Structures are given as structure tokens and as C-alpha cells.
Chain A
Amino acid sequence: MTETFDYSLIDWSRGQFALTAMYHWIFVPLTLGLGFIMAIMETIYVRTGNPEWKRITKFWMTIFGINFAIGVATGIILEFEFGTNWSNYSWFVGDIFGAPLAIEGIMAFFIESTFIAVMFFGWNKVSKKFHLISTWLVAFGASLSALWILVANAWMQMPVGMKFNPDTARNEMAHFWDVLFSPMAVSKFTHTISSSYMLAALVVIGISSWFLLKKRHLVFAKRSIVVAAVFGLVTSLFTILTGDYSAKVIARHQPMKFAAFEGLYVGQRGAPLVAIGVVSSTPEDPNNENIKDFVFKLEIPNFLSYMAFQDFNAFIPGVKDLMEGNEEHGIPSAAEKITRGKLAIDALAEYKTAKEAGDEVKLTEAKEILDQNFQYFGYGYFVDDPSRLVPNVPLTFYSFHLMVALGMWFLVFFAIVLLLVYKGKISRSKFWLTIGIVNIPLAYIASQSGWVTAEMGRQPWVIQDLMPTMTAVSRLDTNAVITTFILFAVIFTTLLIAELRIMFKQIKLGPKQEGGH
């Protein structure tokens, strides 16, 4: 069945979505994290009454405002794409997406039109406490706003709490709380926001490091570094903990993605964690170009098993176990899932025919077969080419390891910065201040790598096990998709250049001198 799809259209549609999502994600994490950093700074100002803290808060608020203004509404493009390029998917997800996105839209509107206005316009017009509450509400509101879109994304990775309606071909929300509190939603939300907080801390340290290297606004820069480093250290620890929880959830619910994280082809008990590795360019399996061995790897024995199941001898299925099946460990083969998926697809077709003919007996039979096999519905599209069930292992492996390595590095960096602050050496440590600046692009690379890992690792699924990317896409003219891809590349690059220019200008100007509240 896979041979019936136009892969050029699918690849361009995916590329277009990836481009817009990745550009959108340039703006989001800084907004999420900087909100809390400036709220902490303002809290110190309100508690101490020291006008220097107000000056510090207002400078970071300006940076927040620039990032927020340039990034606002860039996510709406993704919703346009759902309706135009991913119409089958949009229809199929039904109201699962509708409810969270509607809540997000309403929350974002109220938060943005009220508390952000108080935060920017309210200095000297509302009381200190009310202003501070508004700043905290902006910070919490931004994260809560992110919650809903992350819940929707988590549902795609682990569809729960819904019932498929064969009359409408839509999934209907059956258990809202199951959707909201699924382990995937909890892990995705906590890991995404904590890593965003860490990114913001790195941006604050990086910019402050530049001031220290230029020997400008020294008090401002040092105080900003202290707040950001403490915030960064706490959130990086939280990021590691939530990342560990995410890995456990993925090991249970997306085992193919988990195998791809580690380039694990053959499952084993006491599986080692590949700390560093280089994937070979030579195919190990000539029937599947995605399966490749390592040229070099440095492993931590048994650690992958422990990470996934808190048991050093637990069995971790590899790509081959998931494709060929493993009776001993109760893992069905891809062929079995494909057969059941095909049964489900045929049952849906039969259901439609029986409904049109008014044949109640066949209708009931078809519904029964569909319900029994629906969990494997998407596998039915891989009859001709099961190898497409394997994600791009090298890309998933590298993006995952890059994210983890950078995350660990940032934890060490925050600790070093705090140590230098404690010893009173931070403003003289040119090396570490330069590293602080270099960490800004690294933080964005880590953040984007996280999404590449999550989204490439789950391929070929747009909805895990139920809908592959190829059936989700609208049958449009490929050239039209290429046109909008180029259009978006131009628009978003222009926005990014605008953001960087305005931000660099404001950073060069530095914090303004002004009095207290």
C-alpha cells in the first residue's frame, strides 16, 4: 500500500512543518524561562526595595518583550498547515486537539492582553505588589499556555482517552483527564518547560558575560548571573530528572523510538548505554537502509536497562525484535501488526459499505473487527514495505546524544559559574565568560535537538500506531507546498534577523539608569 503514496509531497509537507515548528521554537523557550527569571528579579526588588534590581528586571523585561513580540503568533502558522497540508490528520484527531488548543487560545489572549500590559505599562501606575503578581502570572501563564499544545503533542505520541467513531472517521474525547495526565503528557510538559527555563538561564548568563567582558554595567551583570545561575542549576537538575522520566515513558510506550535513541538493533538483557558513538555509513541489513552498526562506541554496561526499567538486567527490545517479534518477551512482529492493521482498515471500508447498504449484520461485524484491531490501524499501510516502520536511526541517535551531552554540560557550567561567583572571580574569568556567550547557541541547538529526537524518533507515525505521516497529508500539488516552504523560510528568517537586530541594539544600549518605584 505504501507504493500508492507520493513521497515527494509527503517529504515537502514534513519539511515545511519542521521548518515552521523549529522556527517557532526559537522564540518559545526564551519566553517560557525568562518570564520566571525576571519574576524572581522583581521579587528581590520588591523585597529589598533596591532600585538596582528594578533596573535589572526592566532590562530583562525588554529582552522578554522583544522575543515575545517577534515570536507571538508564529505558532498560528502550524494551525494553518494542519488545515491545509494535514487535513486527514486534522479530521482524524477530532476534538482531541480542539479542546486543548481552544483553552490555550483563550488563556493566551487573556494573559497577553491583561497581565503583560500591566507588566510593561504598569510601573509607577499600579502598586508594587500588583505589578509583581502580574509578572508572576505572565510567567506561569506562558508555561500553562505551553501545557495545552504539549498535551496535544503527547497524545500524538501516546493516544489515550479517546474513542474512534467509524461514522465520522474522527477520534472523540472519552476521558479528558487521561489525555491531560497521561505519562507522556506529564513527561513532555515537565521536560520541555524545564529545559526551556535552562535555555533562558543560559541566555541571561551569556548576555551578562558579554557585559562583564566589555566591563560595562558590572553590578547589573553580576547580579543577573547569580540569579540565572541558581535558576539554571535548579532547572537543569529538574531537566535531567524529567528527561530520565521521559526515557522511562518512551521505553514503555514507544519502544522503537527508544531503540533508535541508542541505535540498539538487537535487544538484550542488561543493555548498555552508548555514551559516545559513531554510526557506520555501511548498511548492516541490506533490506533496511535505516539499520546501521557503529564504527565506534563507548558504553556504560547495563545502564540502558536500568534507565528504562530501573533493573540492570531488564530486557530492552532492539529494532530487530520489534520488526521480527520476540516470543520470549511477548513482542509481536511487525508482520502481525500489519495483518491486524490491514484487518482494521478493511473493516472500516466494510463498515462504510454496510452503512450505505443499510446492512446491520455486516455493520456490526465490521465494527467488531475494527474495534479488535484498531490499536494497530496504522500498521495496515505498511504491507508493501515494512522497513518504513523503522525511524531514521542515525539522526535520532545523534540528536538524542547531542541533547543529553549538552544538558549535562550545562549542569556543570552552572555549577562552575556559581563557584566563580562564590569565590568572587566571575568578572575576571575571561575564559568562562566567553564560554557563557558560546553557550547561547549551544542552548538553542540542545533545545532543537530535543524536538528532532522526539519527532524524528517517532516516525513513521503522526499518531503512534494509528496514523502514519503518509496518510495524514492532504493530496495537494507538491509545487504548492514547495512554494509555501520557501515563503516561510523567507518570512521566518526575516523575523529572526529583525529579532536579533533589535535585541543586539537593546543589549548594546544596556540597562537604563533610573530611580525606584
Chain B
Amino acid sequence: MKKKNIFLRIFSFYYEGFRSMTVGRTLWAIILIKLFVMFVILKIFFFPNFLKSNFDNDEDRSKHVIEQLTNPK
């Protein structure tokens, strides 16, 4: 019998693996919800990168940090 293409074999390995999961389905649901909450809600709305969002380039970021280090207020 002719062997399946390697990519098809890998795909079917994962596909069958996911299909035959029991507790894994619940876990994947938790993982996906968690990743959504972390990357879509928390990261965007609560955790913008302070230096990237307040300064345009690395030079300005450096100046800001030096100011913070030498003249903290």
C-alpha cells in the first residue's frame, strides 16, 4: 500500500489526536479562553508597553529612562 504524504500523515496525526481527546477538549477550551483573555483583553486594554506607547523611538526612550534614573520624581 502506498504511504501517505508526510504532511498528510502529520496532519492526520494531530487531527486524530485532537478528535480522540476526552478531558483534553475541556483543557483546550480553557487554553483558548485564557489566551483570548490574555492577548486580546489584558494586553491591549490593560498592558500597553509603557515606553513603546509613550515614545516614538529608542532615542526618546533612552532619554526618558535616563531622566527617570537621574532625576526621579
Contacts and interface: CB of A to CB of B under 8 A. Distances in A.
Interface residues of A, number: 52
A167 B52 contact: no
Interface string A340-351: 000001101100
Contact of A471 (B16, B46, B49, B69): B69
Contacts of B68: 88, 471, 475
A1 B31 CA distance: 45
Contacts of B34: 73, 495
A494 B64 CA distance: 38
A484 to B, nearest CB: 5
A352 B34 CA distance: 44
Interface in A107-137: 117, 120-122, 125
B38 A83 contact: no
A81 B47 contact: yes
Chain A CB within 10 Å, residue with most, of B13, B30, B50? B50
A348 B70 contact: yes
B8 interface: no
Given A80-B43, A91-B51, A121-B16, A169 B28 contact: no
Interface in B5-62: 13-14, 16-18, 20, 23-24, 26-28, 30-31, 34-35, 37-38, 42-43, 46-52, 58, 61-62
Interface in A304-341: none
Contacts of A170: 62
Main SS of the interface on chain A?
A: helix
A92 B65 contact: yes
Contacts of B73: 4, 475
A4 B70 CA distance: 12
A170 to B, nearest CB: 7
A484 B46 contact: yes
Contacts of B52: 83
Contacts of A76: 38
A419 interface: no
B12 to A, nearest CB: 10
Interface residues of B, number: 38
Contact of B47 (A62, A84, A120): A84
Interface string A471-483: 1001110001001
A72 interface: yes
B35 A73 contact: yes
Interface stretch (A63-71, A176-184, A230-238, A443-451): A63-71
A352 B62 CA distance: 10
Contacts of A166: 66
Contacts of A167: 62
A506 interface: yes
A117 B23 contact: no
Interface in A1-43: 1, 4-5
Interface string A454-472: 0000000000000000110
The 5 closest A-B pairs by CB, nearest first: A121-B17, A87-B50, A69-B27, A349-B70, A83-B49
Interface of A: 1, 4-5, 62, 65-66, 69-70, 72-73, 76-77, 80-81, 83-85, 87-88, 90-92, 117, 120-122, 125, 166-170, 345-346, 348-349, 352, 381, 470-471, 474-476, 480, 483-484, 487, 491, 495, 498, 502, 506
24 contacts: A1-B72, A4-B72, A4-B73, A65-B23, A66-B23, A69-B28, A70-B30, A73-B34, A83-B52, A84-B47, A84-B48, A87-B49, A88-B69, A117-B13, A117-B17, A121-B14, A122-B17, A345-B69, A349-B66, A349-B70, A484-B42, A487-B42, A495-B30, A495-B34
